[in-house]
Amino acid sequence: MTISNEDVQKIARLARLEVSENQAIKFSGELEKILHLVEKMEACDTASVEPMTHPFDAALRLREDKITETNQRDKFQTIAPATQDGLYLVPKVID
């Protein structure tokens, strides 16, 4: 796949980047190399390759599900500007 300097300038404009003509020439060559590498990778037959292990395959250590903090709702609601029935009241921000 060939990438022209105009293509690089168009991509740069869409990304809101300022790219000089010399940079566009350099980037077009680099982008072509990247796309050629991707084409080579896509041409490889990976049907017989088994997937590698993944770090998320390991089981996570779980802790016991028990309460470690005491309920301090009443204490915190005494300093709140407005509460009702155990809930915090806040000003309406959306109509």
The listed CATH number (2.60.40, 3.40.50, 3.40.1350, 1.10.20) that belongs to domain 5-43: 1.10.20
Query: 84 pLDDT exceeds 80?
Result: yes
What are the pLDDT digits (tens) for 26-74?
999 999 999 999 999 999 998 898 887 777 777 778 889 899 999 999 9
Q: State how far the Cα of 83 lies from the Cα of 90, in Å rounded to an integer.
A: 9
Q: State how far the Cα of 31 lies from the Cα of 12, in Å rounded to an integer.
A: 13
Sequence-ordered list of residues with C-beta below 8 angstroms from that of 22, at least 6 positions apart, any chain? none
Q: State how far the Cα of 91 lies from the Cα of 44, in Å rounded to an integer.
A: 60
| 3-state secondary structure (DSSP) of residue 93 | coil
Lowest mean pLDDT among 8-22, 44-58, 76-90: 44-58
Strands 87-88 and 83-84: antiparallel
Q: How many residues does the chain have?
A: 95
Higher pLDDT, 90 or 60: 90
Query: 88 pLDDT exceeds 90?
Result: yes
